[in-house]
Amino acid sequence: MVKEVLQINQVSELLGVPEITIQRWVHQGKIPYRMKRKKYLFIKDEIINWAEEHRIPIKKNKNDKNKINYNVFESIKNGDVIFDLEGNDSYEILRNAIDKIDFIIEKDRLLDEIIRREEIASTGIGNGIAIPHPGRNFKLNIDFPITYVFYLKKPVDFNSIDNEPVSIIFMFFTPSVEIHLKFLSRLSFILKEEEFIKKIKTCGTKNEVIELVESIEKNIDAK
């Protein structure tokens, strides 16, 4: 049986304490260790046993969950950009928009959910943009965020915070509250950028929208 050998930094990571603490434990003779050429080595099994005996929690390998892509431009790639959406008021707009989203099966329920959400607080965030989305009760079987962008044929009143009529809608869906929070945070940064507000109105194709969002997003990340 080959024993897995750990370096001091790996033990520090495993137990979630600084390396210097591991060194102190070694000097105080509290943790099992080996010596090889004046270097401290640790046998993984021994360390795990020791930690269990002393009830020191062992850090589990972090799930790949954190590696989910929250990029807004990716989510638009996963969704779609639709131009000339018909509708005379916010209700019609939302109904027609949901109609165009292929992966949603329970379209009526989603509409109810989004309307309910809008009634509590409008998602019209000003500058002619709204970001309607379902609340936490509407569970979706998706693995990553999906965004649909709609350009309205004519602007409609959305009860926005600046009272301006809305002409562009970002409707997005997230798999969980945690991801929702992260995604929403990113989106809020993008929607604040002046360059974005200026240029988004002039986009004419899906690719143009994605490229614009991507470049804005890269700028934000670079900051």
Residue 124 engages another protein in binding (rule: CB under 8 A): yes
Question: Which one of 89, 107, 135, 198 is in contact with another protein (CB under 8 A)?
Answer: 135
- Cβ–Cβ < 8 Å for 81, 149: yes
Separation between Cα atoms, residue 51 and residue 42, nearest integer Å: 13
Residue 69 engages another protein in binding (rule: CB under 8 A): no
State the amino acid at position 94 in one-letter form.
L
Write the binding mask 10 to 39 for another protein: x where contact by CB under 8 A, - elsewhere: ------------------------------
Residue 186 engages another protein in binding (rule: CB under 8 A): yes
DSSP per position, 37-99? TTEEEEEHHHHHHHHHHTTPPPPPPPPGGGGS---HHHHHHHSEEEEEE--SSHHHHHHHHHH
Residue 221 engages another protein in binding (rule: CB under 8 A): no
Q: How far is the CB of 84 from another protein (least distance, A)?
A: 25
Indicate the residue among 122 and 153 with the shorter CB distance to another protein.
122
State the amino acid at position 68 in one-letter form.
I
Residue with tokens 């131009």: 83
Helices (H), the chain: 8-15, 19-27, 44-53, 72-78, 90-99, 107-120, 177-192, 194-200, 206-222
Q: How far is the CB of 30 from another protein (least distance, A)?
A: 14
Write the binding mask 161 to 180 for another protein: x where contact by CB under 8 A, - elsewhere: xx--------------xx-x
The SS3 of residue 9 is: helix
Indicate the residue among 58 and 211 with the shorter CB distance to another protein.
58
Residue 117 engages another protein in binding (rule: CB under 8 A): yes
Indicate the residue among 20 and 161 with the shorter CB distance to another protein.
161
Residue 77 engages another protein in binding (rule: CB under 8 A): no
Question: What residues form DSSP beta bridges with 146?
Answer: 173
Which residues here bind another protein, judged by CB under 8 A? 53, 55, 57, 117, 120-127, 131, 135-136, 161-162, 177-178, 180-181, 184-186, 188-189, 191-192
